[in-house]
Amino acid sequence: MKKAVLVTLADKKYLGYAKQVFAGAYFNAGWQGDYLLLAHNCSKKDTEWFRKKGILVRYCANIINQKEFGGDPAVYLSRWYLFQKEFKRWSHIVYLDVDVIIKAPLANLVQTKGFSAVSNIFPRIHWYFKEISFLRNVYPYEKTFASGVFVINTSIINSNSFNAITKLAKKLNPYLKSMGEEGLLNIFFYKKWHKLPNIYNLFVDKNENYWKINPLKVHTIIIHSIGSMKPWDRKSILYDEWQNIAQKADKISLNRRISKKEWSKFKIFFYASFLEIKGFFLRKDIYEWQFDLFYYAVMDIVMLRFPKFFKLLKKTKARIKKFNNV
């Protein structure tokens, strides 16, 4: 049976932080598969530490000739290399952003099918498109996934996968400032992705989460620092935990694996369900998104049935915005 591979992505600036991800996978998850670094615009000298540890390195050049893509740094696009046929040598690819902390085993992810990820805190695909009306009509009101943690069952990869996502990016490039690289992935896997339990990508933003639980006390498998405050920031509530794991990186020895007991299906279901129920009642942003959905649906109707009035509304909105920026 093929092994699975655990992957993170970093350029020169973030190579040191990538070590913590692999340390968490080794010591906290007891990961038994391969370890791989997607090294964006890095040299062999830059990645010497990883190679000496037995961590595989896939060197990645820029996919497009621009510094940003959809408002995101171009380094993000190197995740697309995972859809190249060379990665079919593994049964599953578990991808993790460099700003995560792994707290528990991940082996259950190797049972997934297709492309799997955790539902986004922004629940509908409309959020990415905002005023891009034709995209809202093509991709109406679907839930989205967060792309900081995902799993690929490599059976879905074919010789055209990488070219297909690149082609889609070029087609939508004029509109990507509203959606970013994550929005593009959501379009690429529109209605073709599987939902992972939320404990595989629990968000923390500026020392808080959307479930009103102390991030140090929440029961989860992966915790993800989204936004500007990262776990290596000394102001982060997660800093001590992150630092404790990072300091173990030099002790990684892939010749001697550590076994960790997997969470039972009941334990995963229990804690994931707890967060779902708690979040439903506490997250006021859910109601704000519902209002947004209603707003855009009404605007679509106005645009189609009363085009002149719609143009007038757009001009008025632009004037108000200009006035407020003065």
Q: Is residue 246 located within the same domain as residue 311?
A: no
Tokens of 319: 């004037």
Q: Is residue 66 located within the same domain as residue 206?
A: yes
Q: Is residue 302 located within the same domain as residue 187?
A: no
- The pLDDT tens digits for 237-283 are 999 999 999 999 999 999 999 999 999 999 999 999 988 887 766 55
Looking at every residue in the chain, the average pLDDT score rounds to: 84
With cut-offs at 50, 70 and 90, classify the pLDDT of residue 57. Answer: very high
Average pLDDT over every residue of 280-297 = 56
Single-letter residue type at 269: F
Average pLDDT over every residue of 185-194 = 89
Evaluate whether residue 279 is within a structural domain: no
Residue 127 belongs to domain with CATH number: 3.90.550.10
Its domain, for residue 253, covers: 5-266
Nearest 5°: CA angle at 322, between 321 and 326?
Answer: 115
Q: How many domains does the chain have?
A: 2
Q: Is the pLDDT of residue 17 over 80?
A: yes
Q: Is residue 230 located within the same domain as residue 292?
A: no
pTM of the model: 0.83
With cut-offs at 50, 70 and 90, classify the pLDDT of residue 311. Answer: confident
With cut-offs at 50, 70 and 90, classify the pLDDT of residue 288. Answer: low
Evaluate whether residue 280 is within a structural domain: no
Evaluate whether residue 281 is within a structural domain: no
- The pLDDT tens digits for 80-109 are 999 999 999 999 999 999 999 999 999 999
Q: Is residue 87 located within the same domain as residue 230?
A: yes
- Give residue 108's pLDDT: 94
With cut-offs at 50, 70 and 90, classify the pLDDT of residue 326. Answer: very low
Evaluate whether residue 283 is within a structural domain: no
Q: Is residue 310 located within the same domain as residue 184?
A: no
- Give residue 150's pLDDT: 97
Torsion of CA 207, 212, 217, 223, to 10 degrees: -60
**Do the Cβ atoms of 97 and 10 come closer than 8 Å?**
no
Kindly calculate the radius of gyration of the chain based on its CA atoms and give it in whole angstroms: 21
